[in-house]
Amino acid sequence: MVDMVIKGGKIVTSEGIISAGIAVEGGRIVAIASDQHLPDGTQTIDVGGRYILPGVVDQETHVGSKNPLEQDLQTESCAALAGGVTTWGFHLPSGRLAIPPTGETPFFSQVLPNFVKVGNQHCRTDYFLTPILVEEKQIKEIPELAERFGITSYKFFLQLKFAYKFLKKWPAAETTYGFKTDFDDGMVYQSMELISRLGPPGIACFHCENWEIARVFWDRLIEEGRKDAAAWSERSPHFCEAGHIRTYAYYAKQANCPIYINHVTTEESVQAVLSARADGVRIFGNTQAIYLAFSCDSDWIWSPPLRDRETMGKLWQALSRGITDTISSDHVNLIVSREELLKHDVWTRPPGPNRADMLLPIMLSEGVNKDRISLPHVVQVACENPARIFGLYPKKGTIRIGSDADFVVVDLDLTRKVNDNMILSSCSWTIFDGWEMKGWPVMVILRGDVVMEWPEGEIKPKIIGAAKGRYLPRVPGHASYPLD
């Protein structure tokens, strides 16, 4: 007799699809078996022929970056569950983890206990942290943070290098970042040296986009009187992204440090990743789901910007061919109405909002159901690969004996028309409003508990139970997370 048995479904891992069920005990998977060979369960869930995927590991959200962390967690982690996310990776500067948040830069060791405390109270997904380093003094914490808090991944907002040159001109800068930066290649290089020494799964993550150059186009477009969303994209040409990848991949090779490119949004970047690999660099590429769904002829702006439709096709290809490794949401919560946001032209409004709740629906509707990627490959890029790269695999990201019992039940044939009423985020509207999407998560299980359900006929997803998310320290020196 186990705690829970899930049957009547098809298990999807990166390796393929099998007709089998799962037994859960103590929040972990204890058996995977043909339905008839499963042990009995206290609770039995029949998923009615639907697909059972591992919970999504969304390695990048900036929840807490614009609103108080505690507040954001309460709503946004619901949105994450709605999108099938069971493990969430926070990218935050230390100032946002302080109470109250501050533009100054405290040490992470000072604010991490608070982060874990607040997170464990309010977050509905399990979660880990990728600190955004913005000042050189923070580097020396790297070994200690690994040991005390299991932190093995770091993020660099390379676009903000030398930011004082251009940020003051950008009215939305404060809203968007709200922290000071002061770093150079020396800080990045030293960090990579230290991260390299952690051993696997140590990794340096980069937002690659050379704004020192983009600012030139920025000024020109403003001068030309351009205000359309396409102008936002033109201001940051493909080569600004690929240029950064080339430069820092070269320095990563010198520091012998694995790196992760958070936004591969152009084919020039795809080629830069391939070239770095041939040069012996251990490099991974991520594409936010948003770049696969919206083109630069839409109303929305992000950083890096949306690209044209031809490029979107290239990004789907790079993903399905295994050149880029992961997808993520880059969820940011802007509490502002659609009308209010669109009142501003592209030069004064902040980028966003991104939608974690649409992470999996995009992959299912735009991807699987349009034959751009297979369902097992979605599991690879949305669950397994991010878990591997960030040191959580096989605890997270897969369906194996001993792994956490995190699942998303997916109905690949279900069609829903998106509308603002579905939205759980405190930004109570969605850029997908009006989209008809086929393929939806209908149930989410976190460590053996059903935490989200969206029954046929309900207007919006139901979040179930109290917040039970837990902070996930990684284990330095272990490429695979050691299941005890």
Binding piece for a copy of itself, criterion CB under 8 A, among 182-190, 288-296, 423-431, 456-464: 182-190
Which residues neighbour 66 within 8 Å (Cβ) at sequence distance 6 or greater? 72, 175, 178, 332, 333, 334, 335, 350
Query: Of 70 and 308, which has the nearer Cβ to a copy of itself?
Result: 308
Angle between helices 108-122 and 69-82 (to 10 degrees): 50
Q: Could you say which residues in the range 100-129 bind a copy of itself, by CB under 8 A?
A: none
Q: Which of 247, 256, 419, 426 binds a copy of itself (CB under 8 A)?
A: 247
| Planar angle of CA 59, 52, 418, nearest 5 degrees | 70
Sheet with 51-54, edge to edge strand ranges: 16-19, 10-13, 51-54, 407-417, 436-446, 449-453, 462-463
Tokens standing for 200? 């696997």
Query: Of 37 and 343, which has the nearer Cβ to a copy of itself?
Result: 37
CA distance 231 to 301: 10
Q: Which of 11, 336, 346, 422 binds a copy of itself (CB under 8 A)?
A: 11
CA distance 155 to 261: 10
Under rule CB under 8 A, residue 23 binds a copy of itself: yes
Q: Which of 376, 426, 433, 470 binds a copy of itself (CB under 8 A)?
A: 376
Query: Of 402 and 465, which has the nearer Cβ to a copy of itself?
Result: 402
Binding piece for a copy of itself, criterion CB under 8 A, among 249-257, 294-302, 362-370, 407-415: 249-257
Under rule CB under 8 A, residue 274 binds a copy of itself: yes
Query: Of 201 and 352, which has the nearer Cβ to a copy of itself?
Result: 201
Q: Which of 89, 93, 201, 243 binds a copy of itself (CB under 8 A)?
A: 243
Helices (H), 169-224: 173-176, 185-197, 211-223
Under rule CB under 8 A, residue 167 binds a copy of itself: no
Q: Is there a contact between 41 and 2 (Cβ–Cβ < 8 Å)?
A: yes
Under rule CB under 8 A, residue 215 binds a copy of itself: yes
Sign of the torsion angle spanned by Cα atoms 233, 237, 238, 243: negative
CA distance 30 to 38: 10
Under rule CB under 8 A, residue 224 binds a copy of itself: no
Binding residues for a copy of itself, per CB under 8 A? 2, 11, 15-16, 18-20, 23, 25, 30-34, 37-39, 162, 165-166, 184-186, 189-190, 210, 212-216, 237, 239, 242-243, 246-247, 250-251, 254, 274-275, 277-278, 280, 376, 393-394, 398, 400-402, 480, 483
